[in-house]
Amino acid sequence: MFNFTFNHINKNTSQLIDYNNCIYSSKESRPSKSNINCDNYKHYTKIDTTLNIFNIYSVDFNKKPFEYFILKEILIKLDNYSDLIESFSLSFDSIIINEINNTNFIFCFDKNLTLRKTVENLNSLINELEENDYLIMNYIDLFTYTSVEFLIILSKLFFKVKVFYSIILKQNIVICIKYKHCANTIVFLKNLLKKWNKTIYIRQFGIFIPEEFQHVIKKYNDYIFIYFININLNINKIFNEKELNFKIYLKKIGILKSSNCIDCNHKLIENNSNKCYVCTKCYELFNIH
């Protein structure tokens, strides 16, 4: 649903990444205004996206494991592999290597995801990655400057990087296509972890982010915000109407005592269930022609 692809974002610049340019902080980075629409972000943060009602694969009769549906989402993004789902496997908190048609697909998914954990995983996988291997992993939100900077670091190790938002996992998934050796980036990762104290955070990696790429990220994030905002509005509307219908029923059977219909200063809203209007004060039904 929400995705973007890039081939070496920094192709127009000759900058080399240097761990000495990293800026550290005692606090986590805050969302960058360059990456988000602030108003939509505020609405999004008030929504509990972990609720089961937001999970489109929560229906009881789905007997397939959770990982199966994540794989299905991923393989749709991979040309020529969507029909081979039974040949792939995925597991959280462990590295799974799938060899398909002489190509290695390395899955690295973490339940407790952090930027540091992603950097550590990549650094440990460097010795395992071979030319043209694929690396697929879940990824942190793209709200901070550092989260976007690290995508650029990844782009230096692969010919192409695809990013999409998983509706099932409710996280970003990064598909790194065809590994290529980059000595400077490997040295950067190793030195970064030596210097990166576990009690502090990375504020910036010291990497330039092109303005056009920031625009893509902002638009990408906004699609995610609006998706959940709209679902939440629909859910609230459904619950509000069900509560209203229940009160109409209670009034009809005489349990709920409301203000006299004649004296009521009616506040009417449309009621889809009864195909009419209802007063939210006295719960009287009205047909308006």
Reduce the DSSP state of residue 30 to 3 states and report it.
coil
Q: Residues 278, 143: one domain? A: no
Residue 244 lies in a domain: no
Residue 42 lies in a domain: yes
278 band by pLDDT with thresholds 50, 70 and 90: confident
Q: Residues 81, 185: one domain? A: yes
User: What is residue 32's predicted lDDT score, i.e. its pLDDT?
Assistant: 94
Q: Residues 10, 100: one domain? A: yes
Residue 7 lies in a domain: yes
Q: Residues 226, 277: one domain? A: no
Dihedral, CA atoms, 235, 237, 242, 244, nearest 10 degrees?
150
Q: Residues 31, 123: one domain? A: yes
Nearest partner of 198 among 135, 117, 90, judged by Cα: 117
- Residue 281 pLDDT more than 80? no
Predicted TM-score (pTM) of this structure? 0.79
Those residues with Cβ within 8 angstroms of residue 97's Cβ, 6 or more apart along the chain or in another chain? 104, 105, 106, 107, 128
Residue 252 lies in a domain: no
Model confidence over 196-227: pLDDT tens digits? 988 899 999 999 888 889 999 999 999 999 99
- Residue 41 pLDDT more than 80? yes
Where are the strands (E) in the chain, listed by range? Answer: 3-6, 23-25, 94-100, 103-109, 134-139, 158-166, 171-179, 201-204, 268-271, 276-279, 285-286
The structural domain count of the chain equals 2
User: What is residue 149's predicted lDDT score, i.e. its pLDDT?
Assistant: 94
Q: Which residue has the higher pLDDT, 3 or 105?
A: 105
Q: Residues 216, 75: one domain? A: yes
Model confidence over 122-153: pLDDT tens digits? 999 998 899 999 999 999 999 999 999 999 99
**Identity of the residue numbered 200:** I
Reduce the DSSP state of residue 258 to 3 states and report it.
coil
Q: Residues 82, 156: one domain? A: yes
Tell me what the pLDDT averaged over the chain comes to: 83
Q: Residues 189, 266: one domain? A: no
Structure tokens at 8: 């070496």
47 band by pLDDT with thresholds 50, 70 and 90: confident
Residue 247 lies in a domain: no
- Residue 61 pLDDT more than 90? no
Cβ–Cβ under 8 Å, residues 196 and 37: no
- Residue 105 pLDDT more than 80? yes
Q: Residues 58, 150: one domain? A: yes
Structure tokens at 59: 């229906």
- Residue 240 pLDDT more than 80? no
- Residue 120 pLDDT more than 50? yes
Residue 237 lies in a domain: no
82 band by pLDDT with thresholds 50, 70 and 90: confident
Model confidence over 170-179: pLDDT tens digits? 999 999 999 9
Q: What is the mean pLDDT of residues 243-248?
A: 62
Single out the residue in 187, 215, 232 at which a domain terminates.
232
Residue 16 lies in a domain: yes
49 band by pLDDT with thresholds 50, 70 and 90: confident
Cα(172)–Cα(191) distance, integer angstroms: 27
Q: Residues 168, 271: one domain? A: no
Q: What is the mean pLDDT of residues 38-54?
A: 82
Pairing of strands 268-271, 276-279: antiparallel
8 band by pLDDT with thresholds 50, 70 and 90: very low
Domain that holds residue 267: 258-289
Q: Residues 136, 181: one domain? A: yes
Q: Residues 161, 208: one domain? A: yes
Residue 287 lies in a domain: yes
